Amino acid sequence: MRPEDVYALTGVADPRISPDGTRVAYQVWWIDGEANEYRGAIWVAPLDGGEPRQFTSGERRDGSPRWSPDGRWLAFTSNRGAEKTPPQLYVMPVDGGEPRKLTDAKEGVEAIAWSPDSTRIAYTMRVRDPAYEEEDDAKRAPRRVTRLQYKLDSVGWTVDRRKHVFVVELAAGEPRQLTQGDGEHDDPVWSPDGKRIVFTGLRGARWDVDLIERLYVVDADGGEPEPLTGEDASCTMASFSPDGSRIAYRYLPEDGTYPHHGQIAVMNADGSGARLLTTALDRQCAPYPLAREPLWDGERIVFTVEDGGNVHLYAVAADGSAAPELLVGGEQVIGLYDVCDGRLAYTASTYTRPMELYAGAEQRRLTDVTRSFTEGRELVEAERFTAASRDGTEVDAWLVRPAGFEEGKRYPVLLSIHGGPFSQYGTGFFDEFQVYAGAGYAVLYSNPRGSSGYSEAWGRAIRGPIDGAGPGWGTVDFEDLMGVVDTALARYECLDGERMGVIGGSYGGFMTSWIVGHTNRFKAALSERAVNHLVSAFGSSDLFWVFERQFGGPMYDHVEEWLRMSPATYARDIETPLLIVHSENDLRCSVEQGEHLFTLLRLLGKEVEMLRFPAESHELSRSGSPRHRVQRFEAILDWFGRYL
């Protein structure tokens, strides 16, 4: 894979089974290189096999297919129309015809859900303050901020654009806004009788500080929402049982510390009788970013689980009478999924194949969308191995050999570090590793302590150090990563230990900056969208202050500890040539984090450069402008090419 092959990427997303269980609708996405845009179309395939057919035009970006319960309509979102049109809600007859536009707003439609009688659709959308009617920023009124949650990465200003729940009639009429006020609302779901809507909400006097998501219920015709869950956990993504008596949902304990595994829970429809169903797994049951609500399939509930770099499908008895059961496993990452009367559809990816559509526990592949990308390119399988950390701890790790690998030849090495830290590198397709391998590098990656996908104790191993619960960032995680390098160099003769680079983004960028401040064994480094100065990030990020729950205390009471964990503190010790990559619209790790370290290193006479991408967020490498993604890859290969 070469940098320009970003334009050839494609895949399948968001499968939804028809109410009669015979067909599955899904999105096929691709990149229009000439327009520098992402495109998408809705397709429909027979669930038992057969030729898929394209359902929508895909002239822009169609997505989120949703069958009406009576099987007559498909709803979807699309940004078709004028340039920069946000996604709007459309419906189209299943048997053919013209799509009908149900919304015409200045903000995008999200999280759409049909009413049980197929006459209404609930959705969420941001609501703009009237000040936005003034298009000249120099004349617009100032924003009055009273909440910590006033901006959000990849979304922008939210203080005057709160997300609310709406309902629109299929027949006609203006959408009705069901929720009001200064809060955030998401993921509406209808009760089977169509009288109520349950949604996830951040509401109340301290919602922006406590960040405890609760499930609320509101009358479908309007009224004041009532909470169904309390303040001991964040409860999200509800799903009604077919008879309407119970609700399944995702549950995350809120005890003031972080991280915890997300669990699957069930309660009665009135909020009573809550019980957890998945604690026996001791695994993360809330994968990010591809996740949907737990799904009812008769008397069992289907959900996904992170497990050692994989994402698998599980089912558990809704009454808790049996332990969770593996439905689909193997060396793969399962994305989104759907079930209907025992029938299963899901997307999945492997090391060398982006997301395709599959059916059933027997893993029948229904699509071949990515052949256009995989054919004619040498994509490299990763090799899993076990590394030993300094204290003997075993760490899951992988090696991706260079494309065109030749026995007896020694290759430069890139150590890649994931973000989070409570996330995992997986066994699915990752364009970064394939581009580096295509350029002749051997790639090492791993899930050190602090990662998800393993026991909760593994994920909490780098908590602290303020509360004494653990050693904090840059301790055993650093030792694990160095252990991965040491084990790989001893095991694989093809790796050239004299030509090693290190790269990472977000927390992986933190670790990259930290590593070069604590060892000179790497010849070059690239720190991307990193948090480099924890004290300033506390106030400049959209939510970095929340990491006081992982560190054990807030910055203002523990400035020295926050500084001690900041890579910028060790700038004098950095001798490795460093490229700092940052997006100018990154609200998660503000561009000042890159500027801070660059300024320090330049004043200290170190070898440093900064690469700034305009109009991009924290998600540049995953969903940024295709042209910028190509330019980013070119810059990475140029930087490491100079030194390795």
pLDDT one-digit tens code per residue, 316-333:
999 999 999 999 999 999
- Closest alpha carbon to 345 in 333, 330, 335: 335
**Active-site position among 115, 234, 506, 583:** 506
Q: What is the pTM of this model?
A: 0.97
pLDDT at residue 538 greater than cutoff 90: yes
CATH of domain 382-643: 3.40.50.1820
**Active-site position among 164, 261, 618, 628:** 618
For residue 245, the SS3 value is coil
Percent over 90 (pLDDT), the chain: 98
For 100, other C-beta atoms within 10 Å of its C-beta total 14
pLDDT at residue 290 greater than cutoff 90: no
- Closest alpha carbon to 194 in 170, 221, 171: 221
E strands, 23-93, in order:
23-32, 37-46, 53-54, 62-67, 73-78, 88-93
The pLDDT of residue 49: 86
Beta carbons of 102 and 52 less than 8 angstroms apart: no
Average pLDDT over residues 171-197: 96
Average pLDDT over residues 305-317: 98
The pLDDT of residue 84: 87
- Closest alpha carbon to 348 in 333, 370, 338, 328: 333
In the block, tokens 């973000």 appear at 419
Q: Is 642 exposed, middle or buried (0-12, 13-18, 19+ CB in 10 A)?
A: exposed
Q: How confident is the model at residue 469 (pLDDT cuts 50, 70, 90)?
A: confident
- Closest alpha carbon to 412 in 388, 441, 436, 392: 441
Beta carbons of 17 and 23 less than 8 angstroms apart: yes
The pairing of strands 411-417 and 495-505 is parallel
Extract the tokens encoding 59: 């002239």
Residues listed for the chain: 644
pLDDT at residue 96 greater than cutoff 90: no
Residue 285 has, within 13 A of its CA and on its CB side, a CA count of 29
Percent over 70 (pLDDT), the chain: 100
Q: How confident is the model at residue 289 (pLDDT cuts 50, 70, 90)?
A: confident
Average pLDDT over residues 613-630: 97
Average pLDDT over residues 357-363: 97
Chain mean pLDDT for the chain: 97
Residue 349's identity, in one-letter code, is: S
pLDDT digits (tens, 9 = 90+) for 215-246: 999 999 999 999 999 999 999 999 999 999 99
pLDDT at residue 467 greater than cutoff 90: no
Q: How confident is the model at residue 172 (pLDDT cuts 50, 70, 90)?
A: confident
CA distances for 536 relative to 67, 151, 251, 562, angstroms: 47, 17, 31, 10
N-to-C CA span, the chain: 19
In the block, tokens 């558990």 appear at 316
Q: Rounded to an integer, what distance in angstroms lies between the CA atom of residue 447 and that of residue 222?
A: 47
The pLDDT of residue 386: 98
- Closest alpha carbon to 47 in 291, 357, 371, 370: 357
Alpha helices in 410-541 (DSSP H): 431-438, 456-459, 476-491, 507-516, 534-540
618 carries an active-site annotation: yes
Q: Is 174 exposed, middle or buried (0-12, 13-18, 19+ CB in 10 A)?
A: exposed
Extract the tokens encoding 303: 């959900």
The pLDDT of residue 598: 98
Q: Is 163 exposed, middle or buried (0-12, 13-18, 19+ CB in 10 A)?
A: buried
